[in-house]
Amino acid sequence: MTPEVRTELEAALRENDGQLGKVFALLEAGRTTNRELVEGRAAANQGAAANLRVTVRAVLDGVMPKAPSVATKSRRNVASLLRDNPDLSTAARVHLEDLRTLLEVIANDTEELEREARHFEEKSKVLTSSLEKSPGVYVFTLPSFMRTVQMTDPDRFWFKIGKSDRVAGVRIREIMRATGLPEDPWCARVYRHPTLTPRDLESTFHDLLNAAGHSRAPGKKTGRDWYATNLEFLDAVAVALGCEKLANDDPEDE
């Protein structure tokens, strides 16, 4: 990459009015850890902050992620940069287009997809096992849903948001048996509130999801309370409500 192209790409990142631009601005200001990025309101959680940092490194330094899920998110961010910056030079556009292609290859790597699936499954087991005395609102999805974005919005996936007044792990297994889901679900989040009951907290989540247009899936055979949303939105809601969060994807701070 020439210095001229790098300067163009830095300007495009700096002018980005989304989370990617916020993360880049904080990185330029010397706030480089995931925790600092979250505290600077550039991302809803450390996982989201880490993913956005990956995009910046890929765009400016050519450092590629290994995880397919991270590559998928970075590819979408790169596609957005291309879409939002039609006046980039030919060299800058070619750089981003080549980067998008490389990220697509990583996102579809069969071996890495299987490895990542095993990783998510193990982390889900750890999360559900930690909830034996922690009922609340849970978020889970199916492996196939995590690999399939919504056609109407590439930043949304199907998640079930429900409540458990008892043991969350047991509740999820009951749902599996009752609804005949084709795959074992992955538990991604559990939220608890210091004063709201699980029922009231679930109702609040559902109301906010519907108000944001993340409506439950019409006619889905998997049952009620499925929403087309993302974990960043759910975490932002949880923070605004003052919830405690248990997650299976927050990285260690760097």
Does residue 73 sit in the same domain as residue 156? no
208 to 175, 213, 231: CA distances (angstroms): 23, 9, 14
Domain-located, residue 252: no
142/157 same-domain check: yes
Q: Is residue 203 part of a domain?
A: yes
User: Is 97 in the same domain as 122?
Assistant: no
Instruction: Report pTM.
Output: 0.70
Single residue among 68, 87, 108 that ends a domain in this structure: 108
Residue 226 lies in a domain: yes
Chain centroid offset of residue 223 CA: 23
> Is the domain of 117 the same as that of 239?
yes
The answer to whether residues 68 and 143 belong to one domain is no
pLDDT of residue 253: 43
Q: Please check whether residues 95 and 188 belong to one and the same domain.
A: no
CB atoms within 10 A of CB 187: 25
**Separation between Cα atoms, residue 60 and residue 70, nearest integer Å:** 17
Neighbours of 131 (CB within 10 A): 21
If asked whether residues 140 and 177 sit together in one domain, one would say yes
Count the domains in the chain.
Answer: 2
Enclosing domain of residue 242: 112-247
E strand intervals along the chain: 136-141, 157-164, 186-192, 226-229, 244-247
Residues 104, 198 within the same domain: no
Q: Mark whether 26 and 99 lie in a shared domain.
A: yes
Backbone angles phi, psi at 190, to 5 degrees: -135, 130
Among 90, 108, 126, the domain boundary falls at 108
- Residue 113: CA atoms inside 13 Å, Cβ hemisphere, count? 12
pLDDT tens, the chain, 254 aa long:
899 999 999 999 999 998 899 999 999 999 988 889 988 988 877 778 888 999 999 999 999 998 888 898 899 899 999 999 999 999 999 999 999 999 999 988 888 888 888 888 888 777 777 666 677 888 888 777 766 554 445 567 888 898 876 665 556 666 655 556 667 778 888 899 999 998 999 999 999 998 988 876 555 544 567 888 888 889 889 988 999 887 766 544 44
